[in-house]
Structure 1
């Protein structure tokens, strides 16, 4: 890394004239290009897209600001050149793999490649910057960060959930009205391209195989997740029930005095948060932690005060992690309680969407990999499982074997439904399975209607029909939200609701 680029450690640094290339014209790429232009850098933006409406609008704005925007696959096969000299810095969008030709060429030439998270960290003000509380994990990141933001707001702090969820982190740190503290969700892609972030407190919720095609294997994926602990200042929060996360903390290079803080669904040990009967308890951030604990919330609080539905175990784990991060920042127990009680999950994360003939329907479309689906399946006793989509090379045998005792039946749809069906044959041969073929016309409404009818034919009163696909959605839908919406609307049509 050149001395000049290494010296870019705040927004007050000398960014003027810096020759940069931004790869990708999505939300994060646009934010990166905009921030660089604002600091006076030269910017070339490349993207393989030919200009969707959103892309075209972003391109027009950046061109007005004097960026050179190059759309089309021909612009992503080699590193662009500047007439004035070599490229100083490449800033990449998180979806771009390290072996992509532009990024590989930059690495080969010794040109630093940053993600937008690294750029955001280096564009914080030199004095008075909001500290970051960072979260990663295979599953539960968004829920935990949103819980954390709810707790921070309950404490009277100006905050925002940013990064891989909601607002791009660059937009958050460039906001003209500074935040007190920022809750930051980080994906493994973002962490791969980050090197100098120093969070006040950081957390890995869990680690299970995912995105192996991008990272090249499980070890590289886990190593990317572990980077979140590097340079942490106050607390590295780990999942006591997932030993891999504790090992990551042990190996991390942290700021002197940083503590390891565990969370568990069991009784907490010293320097841990956990559950005592129905109470979320803190034995980490209290003065007399050897002999006492602080009560933070109850399980009923996590259910919005509704005693009829106990919170799913993974929701409790997410709440404990969020509480640990907030307590590391100094938030009092009362604000943790208020923030968790006020929190409502994402609409596609363990959301009740209706009941038909005593059968409850739950939308967990955000369960886009086997690990997430496993957590969802553990939350209910008798389940008709709606699953399928793009497995991305993931193995579902362990998932199916572990859930077999809870399954009343399974309804499978999507590209890799046959792989899930085969696993059910191996590990739960007595479970009835209905495969719903994807319509050649792309009529996902008809497919989901058929799936709901099939699920009802398998279910008994008191059962839960659970959409927990264990797979990505892009074979049939624009995203997991669209898949969840289709499921919800199909349930309402069948129930005779407003969508019939």
Structure 2
């Protein structure tokens, strides 16, 4: 049976994790596909050759991704653009599309519209977004759903193509979907079963243009929700997004909190995760879901992630026992507040994934006495609020990376009594020296915490490599 894409001229903007599956799926549905990609490196050429062998037209290095007005325009006959999520809305390609009346979708939008295509089961989506904690939360959620005996997968911004899953052979009962602000911007018709915005802090403002625009794109995840809009009681901005959303009749606002929950909330009572939202007579009753010790690791921000995951699972009807079993079975990815070793009574913790100040704030709040290893690429961030909030917990600080001076200046202003070691180097060999300096500053009972509050690309390929370097340096201490 012909699809709505049969014979349609579709331009796919960008190769990579999202562009290649989009081009393949659209070609398989009978569309005339042209892929435009500004880069022409070896990876792009390999991907282009793979697509061209199928009959897809690929234009490499044509300037489509450029910010300049001289970029190539729409390929002739284009009726739809499907874009990689990272392409800024300000690209001339999209201005040309708007002028020509051509719609622009992201790969998430395409995946949403293809649910149930070809007679497949259209699995509902439980959606997770927020500035920090998305991947951990969506993995916890998938673990809980799996513990309930449901066919599920953690997909989306987590690195697993939604398109591949919704058009593949496996029929899921429900999907745990991580969505970035970029993906949500390009997904106008997405309507989740239930969704959560974990938190909001300034991030990606160069892409969105303003905090207001960034928050608005995050808030899109609540549009059309069917059962529950889950928000963070400690972050009023997330509740404001719920209030602004146009949802289906009967959809409820459900909060999560690290304190004692009120009605329609999940929270913590005497070391227990409890539910006062999805129970009979929630004004009087509560349901025990799990113990705080079932959360790995039981740091405050990770307990919040667990509560958000539990809320989405409960919205889908998952029993309490599955929440407990799923949290117990969950193992976090590397470099997320991961305990590396204890050396001479000092704990060494790798949270290299804390690539912005909001994530570092949560990490620093998890420990009482800290020698902090920080620094890297600040991406325009400021550190005064972070340092002022953590000052009383800091035994010392070791600074690395290109923008370490910004953190040093904040420490001078807000924690002048904290000893600071400023390593004037940005090579990868700085990490063993940083760990040695942290060891010198630390005392038994302290935690040496790598929570850089910065991106890693000034010194390392990515945050994983940075965390690996830290862990290796720690292991050398104990050798």
Give the TM-score of the pair, scaled to structure 1: 0.92
Residue in structure 2 matched with residue 319 of structure 1 by the alignment: 306
Is 1:428–2:415 an aligned residue pair? yes
1:471 is displaced (CA, Å) by 1.1
Counterparts of 2:64 and 2:218 in 1: how far apart (Å)?
Answer: 31
Counterparts of 1:227 and 1:478 in 2: how far apart (Å)?
Answer: 32
- Within the candidate set 9, 32, 46, 2:22 is matched to 32
Is 1:453–2:436 an aligned residue pair? yes
Residue in structure 2 matched with residue 101 of structure 1 by the alignment: 92
- Within the candidate set 447, 458, 462, 1:475 is matched to 458
Cα deviations by residue, 1:413-469 (Å, 9 ceiling, x for unpaired): 112111111111111111111122335xxx41x111111111111111111111111
Counterparts of 2:194 and 2:40 in 1: how far apart (Å)?
Answer: 41
CA contact (8 A) 1:51 1:71 kept: no
1:132-171 alignment, distance < 5 Å: 132-171=125-164
Alignment RMSD, CA only? 1.4
Is 1:282–2:275 an aligned residue pair? yes
Summarize the Cα distance change of 1:292–1:420 in structure 2 as closer, same or farther, 3 Å threshold: same
CA contact (8 A) 1:78 1:105 kept: no
Residue in structure 1 matched with residue 59 of structure 2 by the alignment: 70
- Within the candidate set 235, 250, 261, 1:257 is matched to 250
CA contact (8 A) 1:204 1:238 kept: yes
Cα deviations by residue, 1:10-35 (Å, 9 ceiling, x for unpaired): x9741111111111111111111111
Residue in structure 2 matched with residue 110 of structure 1 by the alignment: 101
Is 1:383–2:374 an aligned residue pair? no
Residue in structure 1 matched with residue 68 of structure 2 by the alignment: none
Secondary structure, in 3 states, of the residue corresponding to 1:450?
A: helix
Cα deviations by residue, 1:114-142 (Å, 9 ceiling, x for unpaired): 11111110111156300000000011100
Residue in structure 1 matched with residue 13 of structure 2 by the alignment: 23
1:15-414 alignment, distance < 5 Å: 15-53=5-43, 55-72=44-61, 74-76=63-65, 77-82=71-76, 86-125=77-116, 128-303=121-296, 311-414=298-401
Counterparts of 2:15 and 2:462 in 1: how far apart (Å)?
Answer: 18
Counterparts of 1:435 and 1:100 in 2: how far apart (Å)?
Answer: 40
Counterparts of 1:198 and 1:315 in 2: how far apart (Å)?
Answer: 27
Residue in structure 2 matched with residue 490 of structure 1 by the alignment: 473
Secondary structure, in 3 states, of the residue corresponding to 1:49?
A: coil
Secondary structure, in 3 states, of the residue corresponding to 2:152?
A: coil
Counterparts of 1:297 and 1:485 in 2: how far apart (Å)?
Answer: 32
Secondary structure, in 3 states, of the residue corresponding to 1:335?
A: helix
Counterparts of 2:63 and 2:278 in 1: how far apart (Å)?
Answer: 55
1:489 is displaced (CA, Å) by 1.2
1:494 is displaced (CA, Å) by 2.6
Counterparts of 1:350 and 1:81 in 2: how far apart (Å)?
Answer: 46
CA contact (8 A) 2:197 2:218 kept: yes
Gaps of 5+ in 1: 1-10, 304-309
1:262 is displaced (CA, Å) by 0.8
Counterparts of 2:2 and 2:178 in 1: how far apart (Å)?
Answer: 26
Summarize the Cα distance change of 1:59–1:302 in structure 2 as closer, same or farther, 3 Å threshold: same
Secondary structure, in 3 states, of the residue corresponding to 1:122?
A: helix
Residue in structure 2 matched with residue 3 of structure 1 by the alignment: none
Counterparts of 2:34 and 2:476 in 1: how far apart (Å)?
Answer: 49
Q: Which deviates the most, 38-47 or 121-130? A: 121-130
Counterparts of 1:469 and 1:448 in 2: how far apart (Å)?
Answer: 12
Secondary structure, in 3 states, of the residue corresponding to 1:418?
A: helix
Gaps of 5+ in 2: 66-70
CA contact (8 A) 1:79 1:103 kept: no
Secondary structure, in 3 states, of the residue corresponding to 2:112?
A: helix
Counterparts of 1:487 and 1:94 in 2: how far apart (Å)?
Answer: 31
Secondary structure, in 3 states, of the residue corresponding to 1:345?
A: coil
1:75 is displaced (CA, Å) by 4.7
Secondary structure, in 3 states, of the residue corresponding to 1:256?
A: coil
Secondary structure, in 3 states, of the residue corresponding to 2:254?
A: strand
Counterparts of 1:132 and 1:450 in 2: how far apart (Å)?
Answer: 46
Secondary structure, in 3 states, of the residue corresponding to 2:278?
A: coil
